[in-house]
Every structure is written in structure tokens, then in C-alpha cells.
Amino acid sequence: EWILHNDQFIQEEDLKISMEDRGYQFGDGIYEVIRVYEGNLFTAEEHIDRFYESAEKIKIVIPYTKDVFHKLMYDLVEKNEIDNGIVYVQMTRGCAPRVHQFPADCPPVIVANTKSMERPVEAMRSGVQTKFVEDVRWLRCDIKSLNLLGNVLAKQEAYEEGLFEAILHRGETVTEGSSSNMYGIKNGVLYTHPATNLILNGITRRVILELCKEQGIEVQETAFTKSEALEMDEFFMSSTTSEVMPIIAIDGHKIGSGVPGELTKKLQKAFEEKLKLTGNV
Ligand code: PMP
């Protein structure tokens, strides 16, 4: 199993990370997860663009061009012979004696690994159950930061109740999932939180909004409330690993008739078609 360490491919057991790596001590870094279908990176450019944007927002300079970075990701997938799976890549501000302010002369530390993973076809067919959890995260959720404690605690709360995802809300307003974006459909119109500082603008979210355009589904990037969520005809979530995942219940309340909705299924189908079109499945 090869991993990437800066621009070197090494074996995982040979990786050394300093105790004073700022990712370790402060969560001072960013990450991306890129899907691999049939050995190809899916929407790699979009993920890489977002990685560079996150880096800029926290003022880390990535020492490679996007093309070089892309090739490093691709070579890692090839070296590990990943057919279906993911690449996880993170970058921290580097290591230096522990002070909060940015240290001088501190080269960033990049690591990446791969994992084989099949598509969650069973869950996508049956739909999943969820619960509301208060969104107590900071106000820069648009940054794909390594600081995930708010997300971790929310997911754990759902997991302990046997649920697939936590739906986060700030007061009455639904924002996103602990590791996904959220959508409701009412009278044929798709609603999702606008891409502000309160959510991560998912790459899958962007693909879905594009598919809605192609399929003639009206989209309103407008926040909705918890009670509006419960009254939606259909509900689903999206992420790099969950694709278009139907949500059939929130806090034990059935959404619609408690089965994946028709437009949700249409979007799942369109998403699959897109995988085929781009030579990915
Ligand atoms: N929001 C949050 C908080 C996430 O962690 C993720 C997945 N990492 C998403 C949304 C979905 O983003 P994407 O479609 O790019 O995986």
C-alpha cells in the first residue's frame, strides 16, 4: 500500500509525522476526498480546484501546480491498483514549535492514501434514516478544514442511534449533513441551502444542480427550516461517497410515503448515466 508524502511515494509504515505537525496539534490544514470509479478519478479537477481554494482561504501555498498535483493523485491510484474507491489527501501548515501564529519557514506537509470502496447500492435503493442535530460548528464551513470535531460529534450521535446521517441545523435553519449536503423536494421544486459560509459547497452538489438543469427540475438555492424539511415530498443527501442518497425518515418521521421519491430516483439514474458518459463506470 503506497502513500504519498509531499512528492514522494512511500510505504505507509515508513511515514513519519512530527508531534509538532500543526495538523496534529491545531487541525491546521485542509483535505479532499476524490472518488475513483473503474480506476478513473471522478470530477478530479473540481476537487483539486476546491483544495487550492481551501488552501488559499487559510493562507497555505501549495508548492505544486494543479497539473503536478493531479498527476500525483492519479499515480497513487495507479500504484495501488484502485478500481473503485477513494483518494484521501490532506495538507497541514507543516511542523514547527507550538505557537498559534503561523511559523516562518514552515513547508506544508501533504499526505495522501487510497482505499477501495464499492458504491453503496443497497442504501441507495432502500434509502436511509437520519436525525436533526444542532449545528455548532464555526462560521467558515465553506473551508474543507481538518477541524471536524463538530461534524464528528454530530455523526456519532446519529451513529449511536443506528442512523446514517445527522442533519445539521442552526436554530430552525437546515444547513447540511455532518459529511454531506441536504436537499428537499416539494411540488417538483428542489430546495437546498445556498453555497454560503455555512456549508461546504459539495462537488456532488454541483453535479446534482447541473443534472437538475439537464432534467428540467427547478432548483431554489434557498435555506429551509426543520419543519419545512419534515413536510417535503422527498428528501436526499449527497456526497462523494454517498452520491444521491435518499432519506426516508428524519427523527422517526417518514418523509413522503417513507420510500425513495420519484425525482430522487430520477437524479440517481442521471448521476449513473453521467458516470458512464465520462467513461467512469
Ligand atoms: N458537507 C460536508 C460537511 C462534508 O464533509 C461533505 C463531504 N466531505 C460534503 C458536504 C459533500 O461534499 P462532496 O460532495 O464534495 O463530497
Let me know whether 86 and 150 are in one domain: no
Let me know whether 39 and 132 are in one domain: no
242 lines ligand 1 (CB under 6 A): no
Shortest-distance atom of ligand 1 to CA 204? 14
Let me know whether 9 and 77 are in one domain: yes
Last residue of a domain, one of 87, 116, 145: 116
User: At 260, which CATH number?
Assistant: 3.20.10.10
Let me know whether 170 and 71 are in one domain: no
Let me know whether 149 and 260 are in one domain: yes
181 lines ligand 1 (CB under 6 A): yes
Let me know whether 110 and 145 are in one domain: no
Task: Give me the percent of the chain exceeding a pLDDT of 70.
Answer: 100
C-alpha cell at 260: 425513495
Confidence (pLDDT) at 271: 98
Confidence (pLDDT) at 281: 63
User: Residues 102-107: what's their mean pLDDT?
Assistant: 94
User: At 107, which CATH number?
Assistant: 3.30.470.10
Last residue of a domain, one of 81, 116, 151: 116
Let me know whether 189 and 206 are in one domain: yes
The 10s digit of each residue's pLDDT in 58-81 is 999 999 999 999 999 999 999 999
Confidence (pLDDT) at 43: 98
State how far the alpha carbon of 200 is from the alpha carbons of 175, 276, 277, in Å: 9, 26, 26
144 has catalytic annotation? yes
- Structural Rg of the chain based on CA atoms: 19
The 10s digit of each residue's pLDDT in 223-271 is 999 999 999 999 999 999 999 999 999 999 999 999 999 999 999 999 9
- Residue ranges of the alpha helices (H) in 129-202? 149-160
Domains of the chain: total: 2
Does the pLDDT value for residue 159 go beyond 80?
yes
43 lines ligand 1 (CB under 6 A): no
Confidence (pLDDT) at 278: 73
Average pLDDT, the chain: 97
Let me know whether 190 and 256 are in one domain: yes
Does the pLDDT value for residue 177 go beyond 70?
yes
Provide the pLDDT confidence category of residue 8 given band limits of 50, 70 and 90.
very high
pTM: 0.97
Pairing of strands 189-192, 218-220: parallel
Shortest-distance atom of ligand 1 to CA 199? 1
Confidence (pLDDT) at 238: 99
Provide the pLDDT confidence category of residue 277 given band limits of 50, 70 and 90.
confident
Let me know whether 206 and 271 are in one domain: yes
Structural domain span for residue 66: 2-116
| Cα separation, 20 vs 64, whole angstroms | 23
146 lines ligand 1 (CB under 6 A): no
Does the pLDDT value for residue 272 go beyond 90?
yes
The answer to whether the CB of 46 falls within 8 A of the CB of 70 is no
Distance 240 CA to ligand 1 centre (A): 7
Confidence (pLDDT) at 276: 85
Confidence (pLDDT) at 274: 95
Burial 70-82 (b: 16+ CB within 10 A, else e): bebbbebbeebeb
200 lines ligand 1 (CB under 6 A): yes
Q: Which one of 86, 239, 245, 274 would you pick to mutate in the ligand 1 pocket, going by the greatest count of ligand atoms within 8 A of its CB?
A: 239
Let me know whether 169 and 261 are in one domain: yes
